[in-house]
Amino acid sequence: MPIKIGEIELKNPIIVASGILGLSQSIFDRLYQVGAGAIVSKSISLFPREGYINPTITTIKGNSYINAVGLANPGLESFTKEISTNNVPLIVSIVGSTIRDFIEMVNKLKTLNILGFELNLSCPHVEKMGMEIGDDPKAVYDIVWNIKNNSDKPLFVKVGMGNSNIIKTAKIAEAAGADCITAINTIRAMKIDIETGHPILENKIGGLSGASIKPIGVRCVYELKKNIGIPIVGCGGIFTHEDVVEYLMAGASAVQIGSVLGFGGLNSLDNILKGLSNYLKLKNYTNVSKLIGIAHRS
């Protein structure tokens, strides 16, 4: 099931999404071994971030989570050491507050053996990072433009459900030189403990992921496909190969899976891949890319 996302060639269209499985080289290696087409790291910032205190994640009925981890990560210095011998298709997710943060990160990371970058413009629960930047069109343009002018590596821009229109943000990213759009990130949400009356998460508000957001992700990919020319990677609520097919038909060139790995473990990756391969055979598709954008024909 080899596919191309622009110039990037992957062994299959299933990419592991940022943030679910941590940041160690051993887990990246393991994910590639069990079948992932590529892996996106948890978002890295220039300096270490402790993130929020527990509870940072809670489950929601119907295979979903709300999390507010607060972009906890060890920072650029430590992460570059961790992946210094990387040999798998790793996309490094980066997050920051200023153009200088991004330039410094990109200049250091581009010397390593990585596939590319994913710019996280869509974290819904950390101030002055992620979504707040994604909601500022000038910042989006400037950051994307500067990253592209400091590195030849492919740049995925991850857009989400902020205040600005997702299509507008994606178009700005495309105009500034982004190679691909990833859609979507988690969606602002909360859960309250009705015994105590307190919000469950320490940060009160977090981001909803998992099965409940899939129809929104599919809608976003469909609308993006109508409005931009660069490839789209679909993300949000993928649990089965049927979900993958739906995203591809909406216009995604590949997909990312996150929460399913929390609920079903690494086996879920293998199940999705086998299911997809069987589906292609059953429907006589010679290549997985034949599914891309089918829903736009009608």
Ligand X SMILES: Cc1cc2nc3c(=O)[nH]c(=O)nc-3n(C[C@H](O)[C@H](O)[C@H](O)COP(=O)(O)O)c2cc1C
Instruction: Examine residue 268 and tell whether it contacts ligand X (CB under 6 A).
Output: no
Instruction: Examine residue 63 and tell whether it contacts ligand X (CB under 6 A).
Output: no
C-beta of residue 201 within 8 angstroms of C-beta of residue 190: yes
C-beta of residue 123 within 8 angstroms of C-beta of residue 100: no
Looking up tokens 């899976």, which residue turns up? 257
Residue 1 CA to its chain's centroid (Å): 21
Cα–Cα distance, 252 to 37 (Å, whole number): 15
Cα–Cα distance, 158 to 23 (Å, whole number): 18
Instruction: Examine residue 93 and tell whether it contacts ligand X (CB under 6 A).
Output: yes
Radius of gyration of the chain from its Cα atoms, rounded to whole angstroms? 18
In whole angstroms, the minimum distance from the beta carbon of 142 to ligand X comes to: 20
Instruction: Examine residue 57 and tell whether it contacts ligand X (CB under 6 A).
Output: yes
User: Of residues 259, 268, 291, 292, which one binds ligand X by CB under 6 A?
Assistant: 259
Instruction: Examine residue 253 and tell whether it contacts ligand X (CB under 6 A).
Output: no
SS3 per residue for 10-35: ECCCEEECCCCCCCCHHHHHHHHHCC
Instruction: Examine residue 125 and tell whether it contacts ligand X (CB under 6 A).
Output: no
Containing 181, the helix (H) or strand (E) segment is: strand 180-183
To the query of whether residue 123 is one of the catalytic residues in this protein, the response is yes
User: Of residues 12, 25, 45, 67, which one binds ligand X by CB under 6 A?
Assistant: 67
Instruction: Examine residue 76 and tell whether it contacts ligand X (CB under 6 A).
Output: no
* Binding region for ligand X (CB under 6 A) out of 2-10, 26-34, 225-233, 256-264: 256-264
C-beta of residue 160 within 8 angstroms of C-beta of residue 122: yes
- Closer residue to ligand X, CB minimum distance, 86 or 186: 186
Residue type at 89?
A: P
Instruction: Examine residue 42 and tell whether it contacts ligand X (CB under 6 A).
Output: yes
* Binding region for ligand X (CB under 6 A) out of 45-53, 65-73, 167-175, 223-231: 65-73
Binding residues (CB under 6 A) for ligand X: these are 17-20, 42-43, 57, 65, 67, 69, 71, 93, 120, 123, 158, 185-186, 209-210, 213, 235-238, 257-260
